[in-house]
Chain A
Amino acid sequence: MNINEFNDIFQNCELIDEKIVIKSDLAKTIEFIKDNYGFNLLKEIVAVDNKEHGIELIYRLYSTENEESVLVSFVVNDFAESVSKIFESAVADEKEIYDLFGVKFVGNDELKRLYLPESWEGHPLRKDYVQNDERLRWND
């Protein structure tokens, strides 16, 4: 990909460590990549908790035509834009990330817990998670 192509759409593009860094909206970027480069399949969304540097979301997009994939990463802070309108398969991934990391995806209408019980307190894969639920004392 050429950085100049991105410069036309987004402002303030930089090339840092062979990565194109854009200051832009999450959903807008994903939609741009999907429409212009033929990445028509969202394979997965990965979340990484980097403590004070926020939570990193990594999207793996795949092109069935060219058989190649691209990784797009964003740093968010508890709130993120949902891509469920662009890729419907993102609904389940976003639910899972909300369940375990507590990232609230704005625009995902079905956002609720996927694996843990509805009444669970906290988001267990966050680095600052401490389990001190009084209701689970019997399990100690």
Chain B
Amino acid sequence: MNVIVTSVDYILNWSRANSLWPLTFATSCCGIEMMHTVASNNDIARFGSEVFRGSPRQADLLICAGTITHKMAPALLKLYEQMAEPKYVIAMGACTCGGGMFNETSYSVVNGIDKIIPVDIYLPLCPPKPEALLDAIRKLQKEIKKESILKRKEFVEKHTPKLKEYCGILVENDFTVTKIGVE
């Protein structure tokens, strides 16, 4: 049994790691660096991630580029829920890693997207250079190549924030999405 799973894992991980299609999701200045990464100088296509999808249904990778505010948070959660498994998340920029310069000083900014969705790779800097984003994608590929299809589910469940606290009126009223991701 182990032999079969291991060889299936090897093929699946190889194909997943080399065709990570990111979701077009940029909320501020980190988005400019992400566009720069796609352009010819830092060609992201070398690592198989050039196909930026507009629809979350077709995307494997959520590069969260930019500050997430309380008004944007339900939209981010909704996009993440709509992505098909397997899905990976890169928190790009200091704001998404832990609030950055808005931490504890701003009334409207979420202190890190790991309070809403599970994160695979943290990429700080403000904003990260294109080389740093490419490095993050390479690191994510290495992680994908190591993982097992049986253990991915456990990992996601372990790192998913307890969203019970989040089911406030903010989600219900503003986007008419009633309690996404909440038990």
Whether A138 and B107, one on each chain, are in contact in the complex, defined by CB atoms closer than 8 angstroms, is no
Interface of A: prevailing SS? loop
- CB closest residue in chain A, given B172: A119
Interface size for B (C-beta < 8 A) is 14
Question: What A residues does B165 contact at CB under 8 A?
Answer: 137-138
Interface string of B155-183 (1 = CB under 8 A from A): 00000000001101110011000000000
- Which of B14-22, B39-47, B54-62, B108-116 is near enough to bind chain A? B108-116
- B153 proximity list for chain A (CB < 8 A): none
A135 and B170 contact, CB distance less than 8 A: yes
Interface size of A in residues (CB-CB distance below 8 Å): 15
Chain A residues near B108: list those with CB within 8 A. 115-116, 124
A2 interface residue (CB < 8 Å to B): no
Give Cα A138 to B108, complex, Å. 13
**A65 within 8 Å of B (CB atoms):** no
With a CB–CB cut-off of 8 A, which chain B residues contact A12? none
- B166: chain A residues at CB < 8 Å are 138
Question: Given A117-B173, A119-B174: A139 and B111 within 8 A (CB)?
Answer: yes
Whether the Cβ atoms of A135 and B107 lie closer than 8 Å is no
Contact A117 B71 (CB under 8 A): yes
Q: Select one of A129, A136, A137, A140 contacting B70, CB under 8 A.
A: A136
Interface Cβ pair total, 8 Å cutoff: 36
Which B102-157 residues have C-beta < 8 A from chain A?
A: 107-108, 110-111, 115
| A137 contacts across to B, CB distance below 8 A | 165
Q: Which of A115, A131, A135, A139 is in CB contact (< 8 Å) with B169?
A: A135
A67 at the interface (CB under 8 A from B): no
Do the beta carbons of B173 and A118 come within 8 Å of each other?
yes
- Distance (whole angstroms) from the CB of B80 to the closest CB of chain A: 16
Q: A120 to chain B: which residues have CB within 8 Å?
A: 70
Complex CA gap A118/B115 in Å reads 22
Q: Which residues of A contact B173 (CB under 8 A)?
A: 117-119
Given the interface pairs A137-B165, A138-B115, A138-B165, the reply to whether A117 lies near B70 with Cβ below 8 Å is yes
Q: Is the CB of A117 within 8 A of B110?
A: no
Given contacts A117-B173, A118-B174, A135-B168, 10 further A-B contacts (CB under 8 A): A115-B71, A116-B108, A117-B174, A119-B169, A119-B173, A136-B70, A138-B115, A138-B165, A139-B70, A139-B115
